[in-house]
Structure 1
Amino acid sequence: MMSPTKLSGTELVDCARANAKQGIQIAAYQCGYGDDVKTFSYSLSQACKNMNLTVTDLNELITDHDIILQLGSGEIIAPETESNL
């Protein structure tokens, strides 16, 4: 759901991270910046800087945890019993 106002600070970083997989245009839109990708990028850069995060690309906000959650529908491989390893 698109934010009715331009997000800033940690809210902006969280929203951008949640939408990073869809690309910068959708992330900007969802964070309340509409089609203004330039202002979104600058605001996100400043928010990351204030949080002591070094981010040069939107995709850097996607963590390994996000990737694992996306792949979470995989098959679990485990022994049938404790003695049958």
Structure 2
Amino acid sequence: MASQTPLKGTELVDCARANAKQGIETAAYQCGYGDDLRTFAQELRQACEEMNLQVKELTDLITDQDMILNVGTGEIVAPDTASNL
């Protein structure tokens, strides 16, 4: 659910990180900035600086842990029953 008001600080960084894979347009919308990508980017950059995060672009917020979670979304291969190996 998109925020009704533009997020700031750690809430903005958390929201942007959660939506980074969907792209800047989606992240800006979900964080309450609508189509205002410029303000979203400025506020996100400022919030990251205040948190001492080195972020050059939105995708930098995607962590290794997020990438590992994606790897685990493959197909499960298992026998039909416990006795049928």
The TM-score with structure 2 as length reference comes to: 0.85
Question: For each residue in 1:29-59, what CA deviation from the matched residue of structure 2 results, as whole angstroms up to 9, or x when unmatched?
Answer: 0000000000000000000000001101000
Question: For each residue in 1:50-77, what CA deviation from the matched residue of structure 2 results, as whole angstroms up to 9, or x when unmatched?
Answer: 000110100000011001111113479x
Instruction: Map residues 1-85 of structure 1 onto 2, 5 A cutoff.
Output: 1-74=1-74
Cα RMSD between the aligned structures?
1.3
How many residue pairs are counted as aligned between the two chains?
A: 76
Return structure 1 stretches of 4+ with deviation > 6 angstroms: none
- Cα distance in 1 for partners of 2:75, 2:35 equals 40
- Cα distance in 1 for partners of 2:57, 2:49 equals 13
The TM-score with structure 1 as length reference comes to: 0.85
Unaligned ranges ≥5, structure 2 = 77-85
Percent identity at matched positions?
68
